[in-house]
Amino acid sequence: LADLFGDKQLNTIAGKYVFGINHPDFETLLDKNDNFNLNQYLKNEKILPVKPMQQKIATINKKIKQLKKDISKENQTRYFNPNNVSLLSHITVDDAKQMLKGTALYADAKAYVKAEEKYHVNAVFLMGIAAHESAWGTSRRAREDNNLTGYGVTSDSAKGINKATKEEGLLTTAKTLHEKYLTAGGSYYAGTSAEDVNKHYCVGGEWAAAVVNDAYQLMNQL
């Protein structure tokens, strides 16, 4: 132990005391001053650092768990099917950034992934809506009202959804799509395809085609 720990005090103890006496009452053979509580010494000198080490190990294990989760997600196939926009895309935040790079939508790339995970609306579909409705993030509503999805804007004078941030607007839209459009029994439910959503989301049948076209354009960036 003295060699292992490089401990001078242990080296002194090893040279002064004899260990391993084979006698049932060996302590009675020794003077009190000849006894040394090695366990107590080791506890005071060597065991105390174990707790911080255990905490460090726990932190590392937590990171490993998250990395495994990230790797698992990375290995999943990216998915967009206009016939069922409630199916997850499995895109990562890095994917979203790559898809939106060079557009005014890039800054909120993380929000699309967050919306998918929270409300089960395909992130690529949501991106397609934002691209179409906000002219890729450049529209007045996007700039002034943080409304990227055009939800609630039925005319130039309509208020629409005004939120403090664009992320809040995206999450509000995703929540509405999930509860009212994509869930059976919802007030605007007609099915789970982009065309089904179109029936109540926007006047005119060309909306779904435009959104899907932008979504496929985004998928091509991967």
Q: Residues 177-215, buried b or exposed e (16+ Cβ, 10 A)?
A: bbebbbeeeeebbebbbbbbbbbebbeeeebbebbbebb
- Do 12 and 105 reside in the same domain of the chain? no
Q: How many independent structural domains does the chain possess?
A: 2
Decide if 74 is inside a domain: no
Final residue before a domain boundary, out of 51, 69, 87: 69
Decide if 139 is inside a domain: yes
- Do 65 and 86 reside in the same domain of the chain? no
Final residue before a domain boundary, out of 19, 47, 69: 69
Decide if 65 is inside a domain: yes
- Do 123 and 198 reside in the same domain of the chain? yes
- Do 18 and 100 reside in the same domain of the chain? no
> Phi/psi of residue 67, each to 5°?
-65, -40
- Do 89 and 24 reside in the same domain of the chain? no
**Rounded Cα distance, 74 and 93, in Å:** 10
Decide if 149 is inside a domain: yes
- Do 129 and 24 reside in the same domain of the chain? no
| pLDDT (tens place) for every residue of the chain, 222 residues total | 777 767 788 788 877 776 655 555 655 555 556 566 666 666 665 544 556 667 878 888 899 988 888 777 666 789 999 999 999 999 999 999 999 999 999 999 999 999 999 999 999 999 999 999 999 999 998 998 899 998 876 656 666 678 899 999 999 999 999 999 999 999 999 999 999 999 999 888 899 999 999 999 999 998
Domain with 38 in it: 2-69
CA distances (Å), origin 207, targets 184, 198, 201, 213: 22, 6, 9, 10
CA distances (Å), origin 210, targets 17, 131, 147: 87, 9, 18
CA distances (Å), origin 209, targets 62, 70, 89, 129: 44, 33, 19, 11
- Do 98 and 186 reside in the same domain of the chain? yes
- Do 58 and 93 reside in the same domain of the chain? no
- Do 41 and 136 reside in the same domain of the chain? no
- Do 155 and 103 reside in the same domain of the chain? yes
- Do 100 and 202 reside in the same domain of the chain? yes
Report the SS3 class of residue 52. Answer: helix
Q: Where does residue 158 rank: exposed (0-12), middle (13-18), buried (19+ CB within 10 A)?
A: exposed
- Do 55 and 153 reside in the same domain of the chain? no
Final residue before a domain boundary, out of 69, 90, 122: 69
CA distances (Å), origin 152, targets 46, 57, 119: 66, 50, 19
